[in-house]
Structure 1
Amino acid sequence: MEARRSIFSRIVAGAIGLSIVLVLALWFVTHQTVLTTLEDGAAKEVDVDIAGLVDIYATSGLDELAERINDRIALTPSEGNTPHYLLANNAGEVIAGDIARWPLLDPMVSETGEIAIGAKSQGFARAVQLGPDLRLLVARRTDSNRAVLRNIALAFAVGGTLFVLLVALLGRIAALGLQRRIGQINLAFRDPAQATNLAQVSGGDEIDELTGHSARAITRHRNLSEAYKETSEQLAHEMRTPLSHLDNRLLKALEASPTPPVAKRLMEARSEIKRLVQTLESLLDIASSKSRRGERAGLAPVDMSEMVNSLCELYSGSAEETGHSFTWEVEPGVTIDGEERQLSRLITNLLDNALKYVPAGGAVSVTLKSGPELVVADNGPGVAPADRERIFDRFYRGRSNDGDVHGSGLGLALARAIAERHGLTLSLDHTEVGSSFRLKK
Structure 2
Amino acid sequence: MLGLWWVTDQTIRETLATSTRNNVDVDLAGLIDIHASGGRSELERRIADRLAVVPVDGSRPHYLLADAKGGAIAGDIQSWPALDPAISESGTIPIGDRTQAYARATLIAPGLRLLVAHEPLDEGPLLARVATVFLLGGAIFVACIALFAQAASGRIRQRVSQVSSAFRASDDDALKRLTMPDRPDEIDRIASQAADAIKRARQLSEANRETSEQIAHEIRTPLMHLDTRLVKALKQQGSDPTTAAHLAEARGEIRRLVGTLEALLDIASSKARTGDSQGMKPVDLSTMVSGICELYADSAEEAGYDFQWQIAPDVTMIGDAAQLGRIVTNLLDNAFKYNRDNGAIRVELAPGPVLTVSDDGPGIPDADRERVFDRFYRGKAASGGQSGSGLGLALARAIAARHGLQIHLVPGTIGARFVVEPESEDAV
- Whether the 8 Å contact between 1:363 and 1:378 is mirrored in structure 2 is yes
Match of 2:206 in 1: 226
The one-letter code sitting in structure 2 at the alignment partner of 1:437 is F
Match of 2:7 in 1: 33
The CA deviation at 1:200 is: 7.7
C-alpha distance in 2 between matches for 1:160 and 1:200 = 37
TM-score by length of 1: 0.65
C-alpha distance in 2 between matches for 1:381 and 1:199 = 56
C-alpha distance in 1 between matches for 2:304 and 2:93 = 107
- Whether the 8 Å contact between 1:185 and 1:214 is mirrored in structure 2 is no
C-alpha distance in 1 between matches for 2:331 and 2:410 = 14
The CA deviation at 1:349 is: 0.6
Q: Which secondary structure state, in structure 2, belongs to the residue aligned with residue 149 of structure 1? A: helix
Q: Which secondary structure state, in structure 1, belongs to the residue aligned with residue 407 of structure 2? A: strand
Match of 1:82 in 2: 58
Q: After the TM superposition, which residues 6-155 of structure 1 pair with which residues of structure 2 at under 5 Å, given as runs?
A: 25=1, 28-44=2-18, 67-68=48-49, 71-73=52-54, 76-77=55-56, 81-83=57-59, 126=101, 138=119, 140-142=121-123, 143-155=125-137
What does the per-residue CA deviation read over 1:295-322, in whole Å, with 9 as the maximum and x for residues that have no partner? 3323333343443344344444543443
Give the 3 Å change call, closer, same or farther, for CA 289–111 of structure 1 in structure 2: farther
Match of 2:402 in 1: 421
Q: Which secondary structure state, in structure 2, belongs to the residue aligned with residue 395 of structure 1? A: coil
C-alpha distance in 2 between matches for 1:125 and 1:285 = 95
C-alpha distance in 2 between matches for 1:203 and 1:152 = 39
The one-letter code sitting in structure 2 at the alignment partner of 1:82 is G
User: Identity of aligned pairs, percent?
Assistant: 39
Unmatched tracts of structure 1, length 5 or more: 1-24, 88-95, 98-106, 117-123, 131-135
The CA deviation at 1:203 is: 11
- Whether the 8 Å contact between 2:400 and 2:407 is mirrored in structure 1 is yes
The CA deviation at 1:290 is: 2.3
The CA deviation at 1:215 is: 5.1
> Which of 276, 279, 289 is the equivalent residue of 1:295?
276
The one-letter code sitting in structure 2 at the alignment partner of 1:29 is G
Q: After the TM superposition, which residues 358-377 of structure 1 pair with which residues of structure 2 at under 5 Å, given as runs?
A: 358-377=339-358
C-alpha distance in 2 between matches for 1:272 and 1:236 = 16
The one-letter code sitting in structure 2 at the alignment partner of 1:424 is L
Give the 3 Å change call, closer, same or farther, for CA 229–49 of structure 1 in structure 2: closer
The CA deviation at 1:381 is: 1.0
Give the 3 Å change call, closer, same or farther, for CA 246–30 of structure 1 in structure 2: closer
Give the 3 Å change call, closer, same or farther, for CA 349–177 of structure 1 in structure 2: closer
Question: Is residue 396 from structure 1 mapped to residue 370 from structure 2 by the alignment?
Answer: no
Give the 3 Å change call, closer, same or farther, for CA 277–220 of structure 1 in structure 2: same
C-alpha distance in 2 between matches for 1:382 and 1:184 = 43
Q: Which secondary structure state, in structure 2, belongs to the residue aligned with residue 281 of structure 1? A: helix
The CA deviation at 1:417 is: 1.9
Question: Is residue 273 from structure 1 mapped to residue 254 from structure 2 by the alignment?
Answer: yes
The structure with the larger Rg is 2
Question: Is residue 283 from structure 1 mapped to residue 260 from structure 2 by the alignment?
Answer: no
Q: Which secondary structure state, in structure 2, belongs to the residue aligned with residue 228 of structure 1? A: helix
Give the 3 Å change call, closer, same or farther, for CA 173–367 of structure 1 in structure 2: closer
> Which of 163, 169, 173 is the equivalent residue of 1:183?
163
- Whether the 8 Å contact between 2:349 and 2:356 is mirrored in structure 1 is yes
Q: Which secondary structure state, in structure 1, belongs to the residue aligned with residue 378 of structure 2? A: coil
Match of 1:121 in 2: none
Unmatched tracts of structure 2, length 5 or more: 64-74, 83-90, 106-116, 424-428
Q: Which secondary structure state, in structure 1, belongs to the residue aligned with residue 362 of structure 2? A: coil
Q: Which secondary structure state, in structure 1, belongs to the residue aligned with residue 384 of structure 2? A: coil
Give the 3 Å change call, closer, same or farther, for CA 50–313 of structure 1 in structure 2: farther
Match of 2:334 in 1: 353
Match of 2:289 in 1: 308
> Which of 337, 342, 354 is the equivalent residue of 2:318?
337
The CA deviation at 1:276 is: 2.7
- Whether the 8 Å contact between 2:361 and 2:414 is mirrored in structure 1 is yes
The one-letter code sitting in structure 2 at the alignment partner of 1:273 is I
C-alpha distance in 2 between matches for 1:431 and 1:65 = 113
Question: Is residue 433 from structure 1 mapped to residue 414 from structure 2 by the alignment?
Answer: yes
Question: Is residue 410 from structure 1 mapped to residue 386 from structure 2 by the alignment?
Answer: no
What does the per-residue CA deviation read over 1:270-314, in whole Å, with 9 as the maximum and x for residues that have no partner? 333332322222122122222223333233333434433443444
What does the per-residue CA deviation read over 1:185-221, in whole Å, with 9 as the maximum and x for residues that have no partner? 9549813566567778899777676566555544444
Match of 1:4 in 2: none
- Whether the 8 Å contact between 1:359 and 1:401 is mirrored in structure 2 is no
What does the per-residue CA deviation read over 1:308-346, in whole Å, with 9 as the maximum and x for residues that have no partner? 344344444543443334444555555443212111101
TM-score by length of 2: 0.67
Match of 2:66 in 1: none
Give the 3 Å change call, closer, same or farther, for CA 418–64 of structure 1 in structure 2: same
The CA deviation at 1:137 is: 9.2
Match of 2:363 in 1: 382
